[in-house]
Amino acid sequence: MFLHGSQDPGRDLLVHVVDVQAEAIRNLTGLLQLAGLLKDQPNGHVPEAESEPKHEPKRRSQNKLHRPQNKLFREWHTFRAHFQHLEKVIRRDHQLLEADQVTREMVCTDGGIPPKTLRYHMEWHGLRPEQWPPSTWPETAPPRPADA
């Protein structure tokens, strides 16, 4: 039963277990190759679906700012009015005092907008992250960055 005839029966058992596991791995590899699930088939053929794409996907420039998908948010006055209204609703619903701060997290949670998207919209309108809350935003649109 044991492949090597050493004096240590524990070592012989370990060698036997490793040999059995290696044989099981070879059998599983053969089955996966037959099923076509492994890339490295013996003939070197890679299935058509897994080959390289014919062209590179178009990528947006890293320097170009995100344009709001919601057309109402592309205009300063509707963007500002929406978030100022949302701030008032949050103050009323959470019973916040004037001294209490409405956080971005509150606006994102109650307004259903991801924090990253809010940041992109603010950048697109020329707002800096420290310009918060919306009640402090100016009446006229701040200068928009050149790449917006």
* pLDDT in the model for residue 46: 55
Cβ partners under 8 Å of residue 5, min gap 6: 12
* pLDDT in the model for residue 89: 92
Q: How confident is the model at residue 30 (pLDDT cuts 50, 70, 90)?
A: confident
Cβ partners under 8 Å of residue 125, min gap 6: 76, 79, 141, 142, 144
pLDDT digits (tens, 9 = 90+) for 2-28: 545 556 777 788 888 889 999 998 888
Q: Give just the sign of the alpha carbon dihedral 125, 130, 136, 138.
A: negative
Question: Angle 76-93/104-111 helices, nearest 10 degrees?
Answer: 100
* pLDDT in the model for residue 99: 80
* pLDDT in the model for residue 15: 87
pLDDT digits (tens, 9 = 90+) for 68-123: 888 888 899 999 999 999 999 999 988 888 888 888 999 998 888 999 999 988 98
Cβ partners under 8 Å of residue 72, min gap 6: 78, 79, 82
What is the average per-residue pLDDT within 41-66? 60
* pLDDT in the model for residue 82: 93
* pLDDT in the model for residue 77: 92
